[in-house]
Amino acid sequence: MGLLARLVVGGVWLWAGLIKLPHPEASVTAVRAYQLLPLEVVPVVGRALPIIEVLVGALLVLGVLTRFSGLLSALLQLAFVIGIASVWWRGIAIECGCFGDGGAVAWEKARAQYPWEIARDLGLFLLSAYLVWRPRTAYSLDNVLFPESKG
Amino acid sequence: MATKPSSGDRATKAAAIRLEHDRAERKRKLGLMAGVIATIAVIVAVMVWATQKNSGSVELPKVETSVGDHSLKMGPDSAPVKVVVYEDFLCPFCREFEESTRDFLLAGAQDGKVQVEFRPFRLLQDEYSLNALNAFAAVLASDPQKALAFHDYAFDEQPYEAAPNKPTISDLRGWANKIGVDKSVTAKFDTVDQAWVDAANKAAADAKITGTPTILVDGKKLEGATIAEMADNLEKLIAAAK
Q: Which residues contact B75 (CB under 8 A, 6 or more apart)?
A: B63, B64, B108, B109, B110, B112, B113, B114, B115, B116
Those residues with Cβ within 8 angstroms of residue B155's Cβ, 6 or more apart along the chain or in another chain: B89, B94, B95, B98, B99
Confidence of residue A149 (pLDDT cuts 50, 70, 90): low
Distance from CA of B142 to the nearest CA of A (A): 30
- State the nearest Cα–Cα gap between B19 and chain A, in angstroms: 12
CA distance B131 to B135: 6
- For residues B157 and B207, the answer to whether their CB atoms sit within 8 Å is no
Is residue B102 located within the same domain as residue B183? yes
Residues of chain B positioned with their CB less than 8 A from the CB of A40: none
CB contact under 8 A, B92 and A103: yes
> What confidence tens digit (pLDDT) does each residue in B66-115 have?
999 999 999 999 999 999 999 999 999 999 999 999 999 999 999 999 99
Residue B46 has pLDDT above 80, yes or no: yes
Return the HEC string of A73-114.
Answer: HHHHHHHHHHHHHHHHHHCCCEECCCCCCCEECCHHHHHHHH
Mean pLDDT value across chain B: 91
- Are residue B9 and residue B85 in the same domain, yes or no? no
DSSP character at residue B111? T
Q: Does A82 touch chain B (CB under 8 A)?
A: no
Average pLDDT over residues A56-63: 95
Query: Touching check for A65 and chain B: CB below 8 Å?
Result: yes
Let me know if B188 is exposed, middle or buried by CB neighbors in 10 A (0-12, 13-18, 19+): middle
On whether both B153 and B83 belong to a single domain, the answer is yes
pLDDT of amino acid B8: 74
The answer to whether the peptide bond before residue B61 is cis (omega within 30 degrees of 0) is no
B4's CB contacts (< 8 A; 6+ apart) are B12
Predicted local distance difference test score (pLDDT) of residue A151: 41
pLDDT of residue B28: 86
Does residue B78 share a domain with residue B2? no
Q: Which of A24-28, B53-57, B140-144, B225-229 has the highest mean pLDDT?
A: B140-144
Do B15 and B84 reside in the same domain of the chain?
no
Question: Is B58 domain-assigned?
Answer: no
Judge whether residue B53 has pLDDT over 70: no
Please name the residue of chain A whose CA is at the shortest distance from the CA of residue B99: A25
Q: Give the CATH number for residue B88.
A: 3.40.30.10
Total structural domains within chain B: 2
Q: What is the pTM of this model?
A: 0.84
Contact list, B40 vs chain A (CB under 8 Å)? 55, 59
The answer to whether position B24 is within a domain reads yes
Q: Are residues B118 and B213 both part of a single domain?
A: yes
- ipTM surpassing 0.90, yes or no? no
Of A1-15, A81-95, A102-116, B152-166, give the lowest mean pLDDT range: A102-116
B36 has a pLDDT exceeding 50: yes
Residue contacts between A and B (CB atoms, under 8 Å): 73
Residue B165 lies in a domain: yes
Closest approach of A119 to chain B, Cα-based (Å): 26
End-to-end CA distance of chain A: 25
CA distance B69 to chain A (A): 31
Instruction: Compute the distance between CA of residue A49 and CA of residue A128 in angstroms, rounded to an integer.
Output: 17
The H-assigned helical ranges of B143-226 are 144-156, 169-179, 183-186, 194-206
- Residue B129 in any domain: the answer is yes
Q: Using CB atoms and an 8 Å cut-off, which of residues 47-66 of chain B contact chain A?
A: 47-48, 51-52
Distance, C-alpha B184 to centroid of its chain: 29
CA-to-CA distance for B96 and B157, rounded, in angstroms?
Answer: 12
Q: B186, B208 in Cβ contact below 8 A? A: no
Question: Region B187-211: what's the mean pLDDT?
Answer: 94
Sheet containing B114-120: order of strands = B65-67, B72-74, B114-120, B81-87, B214-217, B220-221
Pairing of strands A94-95, B220-221: unpaired
Same domain, B124 and B22: no
- Residues 31-50 in B contacting A (C-alpha not used; CB under 8 Å): 32-33, 36-37, 40, 43-44, 47-48
Q: Would you say residue B59 lies in a domain?
A: no
Backbone angles phi, psi at B78, to 5 degrees: -80, -5
CA dihedral B131, B135, B138, B139 (to 10 degrees): -170
For testing the chain A interface, which of B19, B25, B51, B235 should be mutated: the one with the most A CBs within 10 Å?
B51
Residue B203 belongs to some domain of the structure:
yes
More confident residue, B44 or B149: B149
Answer whether residue B54 shows pLDDT above 70.
no
pLDDT of B4 over the 60 cut: no
Indicate the burial class of A141 (C-beta count within 10 angstroms; 0-12, 13-18, 19 or more).
middle
Name the strand (E) or helix (H) holding B143: none
CA angle A25, A42, A97 (to 5 degrees): 55
Residue A56 has pLDDT above 90, yes or no: yes
Whole-number pLDDT of residue A28 = 93
Nearest to B48 among A23, A32, A47 (CB): A47
The range of the structural domain enclosing residue B104 comes to 65-240
Distance from first CA to last CA of chain B, Å, rounded? 91
Mean pLDDT throughout A107-116? 91
Percent of chain A with pLDDT over 90: 72
Which ranges constitute the DSSP H helices of A21-41? Answer: 24-33
Element containing residue B221 per DSSP (H, E): strand B220-221
pLDDT of residue A12: 96
Q: Region B201-227: what's the mean pLDDT?
A: 93
Q: Average model confidence (pLDDT) for chain A?
A: 91
pLDDT digits (tens, 9 = 90+) for B134-148: 999 999 999 999 999
Residue in chain A nearest B34 by alpha carbon:
A65
Best residue in A13, A27, A29, A148 to probe B by mutation, most B CBs within 10 Å?
A29
Contacts of A101 in chain B (CB under 8 A): 226
